[in-house]
Amino acid sequence: MEPPFRLIDLDRSTEPQHQPGQSVLVGVADRPRPAGDAFDVLLTAVPDPPRPWVGCADPDAVVRLLRERVTRQPAAAVTLVQVLRTGAALPAPDRLVLESLAYSALQGGAGFRDWLAGAPARTPRPAAEPVLLRRDGGRLTVTLDRPRVRNAFDAATRDALCEALEVAVADPTVTRVDLRGNGPAFCSGGDLAEFGTSRDPAAAHLVRVGRSPAALLLRCAARVTAHLHGACVGAGIELAAFAGRVRAAPDTTVRLPELGMGLIPGAGGTASLPVRIGRRRTAYLALTGTPLGAAEAYAWGLVDEIDEIDEDAGA
């Protein structure tokens, strides 16, 4: 079996002689240069390099971080890059199915079980009405409303968001959808109080595909504007990235934390983020868990506009 992490110094070596297969292939160069499709992450010390390269002040430190995280969660890391590679040739709805299948497989894996065993117990704090709807003519405002938990995304929120988006999909008189979050953050990601509560990964896959806010967002994306602020973690950026327009307050921070749990993004991130920033920068965010501020997210194309804090978003 090949090692899960492979590094090629492109200033001293040629392209890989074969496809990476079951490994994460990282390329490093002093300056960006043409590189083959086999690479999963490309790093350079040059600031603000063109896509697909990622600029970092200390590439060696980033390589050490990548090696450590991939080695700690090899199944999740390799599955992530395989999903991103394969998904590049698939239409968006099929990418969602592929992601869900991979996510369910990892839910049954040792990496997730070990993380779950070490995670502190959390008490669910459900909201009576986790998603609020407001209609003003052709404009529909959909607001995540669990501010006490920074709009953590639980099953009830998912189902309520699906119901709201079904209105937009079914009603052609809805000409604009504004997606917001009340409280200090747009969405802090999946509700950890629910992680591991499903004992049947196969059934969980069918639920994810059958009740998918991501699939509904794909059908009305051109009319959706996502308004981000504060923490946009996991699902908080994965779903928002489907929107036709993404606006971010200056305090916005995005992050993909799933690898540390032995998982990959499961709310559609392997389908939405690559469209905006490419699969290699998506892999970088997911493999490193590095937070991205509003300015860099804008420079990468993950958000389309940086706003002042919107008082209507509810701080």
Where do the domains of the chain lie?
Answer: 5-72, 92-256+292-313
Please give the single-letter amino acid code of residue 208.
R
Please name the residue ranges forming H helices in 179-224.
201-210, 213-220
Q: Measured between alpha carbons, how far is residue 292 from residues 151, 266, 312 in Å?
A: 19, 19, 24
Cα dihedral across residues 151, 156, 162, 168: positive or negative: negative
How many CA atoms within 13 Å lie on the side-chain side of 105?
Answer: 13
Phi/psi of residue 192, each to 5°? Answer: -65, -20
Please say whether the beta carbons of 150 and 283 come within 8 A: no
Among candidate residues 292, 273, 291, 271, the one with its CA nearest the CA of residue 282: 273
What was the pLDDT predicted at 16?
Answer: 67
Query: Which residues have C-beta within 8 Å of that of residue 211, sequence separation ≥ 6?
Result: 158, 159, 162
What was the pLDDT predicted at 196?
Answer: 79
What was the pLDDT predicted at 2?
Answer: 80
- CATH code linked to domain 92-256+292-313: 3.90.226.10
What was the pLDDT predicted at 315?
Answer: 38
Q: Which helix (H) or strand (E) holds 247?
A: strand 245-248
How many CA atoms within 13 Å lie on the side-chain side of 3?
Answer: 10
For helices 110-118 and 74-87, what crossing angle results, to 10°? 130
What was the pLDDT predicted at 103?
Answer: 97
What was the pLDDT predicted at 180?
Answer: 98
| Assigned token pair, 200 | 């049947």
Query: Which residues have C-beta within 8 Å of that of residue 196, sequence separation ≥ 6?
Result: 112, 116, 119
Q: Which helix (H) or strand (E) holds 228?
A: strand 224-228
Q: Is this structure's pTM higher than 0.85? A: yes
113 CB neighbour count, 10 Å cutoff = 13
* 315 residues of the chain, pLDDT tens digit each: 689 999 999 998 866 656 667 999 999 999 999 888 899 999 999 999 999 999 999 999 999 999 999 999 999 999 999 999 999 999 999 999 999 999 999 999 999 999 999 999 999 999 999 999 999 999 999 999 999 999 999 999 999 999 999 999 999 999 999 999 999 999 999 999 998 788 899 999 999 999 999 999 999 999 999 999 999 999 999 999 999 999 999 999 999 999 999 999 999 999 999 999 999 999 999 999 999 999 999 999 999 999 975 545 443
| Assigned token pair, 252 | 């916005």
b/e per residue, 147-178, with b = 16+ CB within 10 A?
eebbbbbbbbbbebbbebbebbbeeeebebbb
How far is it, in rounded angstroms, from Cα 87 to Cα 279? 9
Q: In the 8-state DSSP scheme, what is residue 262? A: T
Q: In the 8-state DSSP scheme, what is residue 22? A: S
What was the pLDDT predicted at 17?
Answer: 58
Please say whether the beta carbons of 258 and 234 come within 8 A: yes
